[in-house]
Each structure stands twice: as structure tokens, then as C-alpha cells.
Amino acid sequence: MVNTALQDLVVYHSGHFLRGKNARTHAGRVEDFLEQCTCNSEVLELSLQVRTGAEYDSARTDALIEEFTAKWGPAEEPPEGLEHLGVQFPHSWTPDLDFTQLLDIVITKSGPRRAPLPMLSVGFKVRFELKDPDSGAPLPHQNWSPENYEDDPFYLPHGFSEIWGDLGESSDIGALISFPFPADDPRLSRYLTFFQSHFPTRLSSRTSNWHWWIVRKDRAKHYRRSAVPALGGVEAIKNLLSGASAK
């Protein structure tokens, strides 16, 4: 069946280390972004995390794990089936506390930065739809329904946007943003100016972080191709972002 709801979109996918040590400042920027640029948001993850290893003070991490276990029980089990990736997952708890309360714990108990990733942090993940800055309503053509993509080998739900990260003595975020415009549409440039003015950090201009998904002529599914060659290379991406104010 032809799906007339499918539209072209440009997808941005990148991670970012945030400058500065003030987790509360970073949290404020994330909250401002969510308030100004998104709607219909859903918190998928909100947790208190402790990382262990040679980079961290074992006495402090052991004490935190003991304290949090006494309050909220054993840390949650890490995801299964990912051992082959060599990823060390943090000890994680999801107490019945809000974002501000968890952040207060992190700021009170954090120590000096000793590794790229924070020893103690608030971990979060939020899914949302992008907001029209004029009307405040969701931008059109944002459809999270996987039924549209069940035969798509790339499986990219249209309008699927998330931001996630860790806030602590060092902070980082990641983002998967689906801009519901073709790459050659002037509306994309205008929207990126608004989006960048509220995003917590400068968007990357690396070509590998941007892709244009184009609807096939039979409208059965999407295929992916790099957005950047169609726009004129990395300089075109920089030009798209040049009018925005970075934080």
C-alpha cells in the first residue's frame, strides 16, 4: 500500500561533550531546549549512575554504591547481549525522585573530574516531537509509528527525535533529531537557526552527522543518502548553521 504520509527528512545524529563543570548550568540548557523546541515529550530514562574502574577513586565509588544500595536496593542489571561491545555500563538506580532532586544529589556528592565520563551523574533520555516556533504546535510529518517502516532495512521511524546524556562533574549529551524537511528546502535553514539558538551546544558540521532520507517513488519506504553532497559539502552545512547563536 502506498503511504502518502511519508515525507523527506534530514536526520542529525551526534554526541557532544559539554564545556564547563557546572552540571546545573548544563541541566538548565537542556531544559530550555526541551521547553522552547519540543512538545509531546516523554521521559524514557531518568537515573542516578555510578561508574567504576581504574580511572575513578574506588573508595568513593564503593561508598556511593553502598549508600545507594542501602536506600534503593541493588543497582539495576545492565542490558543483556551487549557484552561483545566491550562497554562497561554504570551502576544505575531509578529512585522515585525528579530531575532536580537527582541533580542535587550529584552536585552534593561529586568530586573532582578524573575521567572523560563522570563518576557520578544523572542519566536521562527524552523522546519528543519538534515544535513550530510560530504556532507552538508540532511540526508536520512527525510519525513515530513503526508500521510505516516494518519493511525498511534501515528502520528509521519518521519524526523520531531523542536527546540523552549524563550530567555530573563532566557532562555529555547525544541527540538524534529528525528535521521533517528535504535537505534543499529553505525552511530547513530557517528552522536550524531557531533550533541552534536553544540547543545546549553547537551542532556538528561533520558530514557524517547529517543524512537526507528521501522517499522512494513508490513511497513504500525510505532510503538513506548523505545530505551533504546535495547541499554542497561541509561548507554548506556550516552555512546552514552560520546564522545561529551557539551556547
Does residue 52 sit within a domain?
no
Residue 208 included in any domain: yes
pLDDT number for residue 247: 45
Indicate the average pLDDT of the chain: 81
Q: Taking 90 as the threshold, does the pLDDT of residue 227 lie above it?
A: no
pLDDT at position 78 = 72
182 confidence band (pLDDT: 50, 70, 90): confident
Q: What is the pLDDT of residue 1?
A: 38
Q: In whole angstroms, what is the distance from residue 224 CA to residue 222 CA?
A: 7
Query: What percent of the chain lies above the pLDDT cut of 90?
Result: 47
| In-domain check, residue 133 | yes
The amino acid at residue 16 is H
Structural domains of the chain, count = 1
Residue 53 lies in a domain: no
Decide if 73 is inside a domain. Answer: no
What confidence category does residue 143 fall into, taking pLDDT thresholds of 50, 70 and 90? low
**Residue 199 scores a pLDDT above 80:** yes
The predicted model gives 2-6 an average pLDDT of 52
Q: Which residues contact 22 (CB under 8 A, 6 or more apart)?
A: none
Between 42 and 113, whose confidence is greater?
Answer: 42
pTM of the model: 0.84
In a domain, 213, yes or no: yes
Q: Which domain holds residue 189?
A: 9-41+112-241
Looking at this protein, which amino acid is placed at residue 239?
N
**Amino acid present at 213:** W
User: What Cα–Cα distance (Å) separates residue 25 from each residue in 22, 46, 82?
Assistant: 5, 18, 33
Which pLDDT value is given to residue 246? Answer: 44
pLDDT of amino acid 240:
64
Whether residue 97 is contained in a domain is answered as no
At 2 the pLDDT is 40
For the cut 90, the answer to whether the pLDDT of residue 101 exceeds it is yes
Would 74 be classed as within a structural domain? no
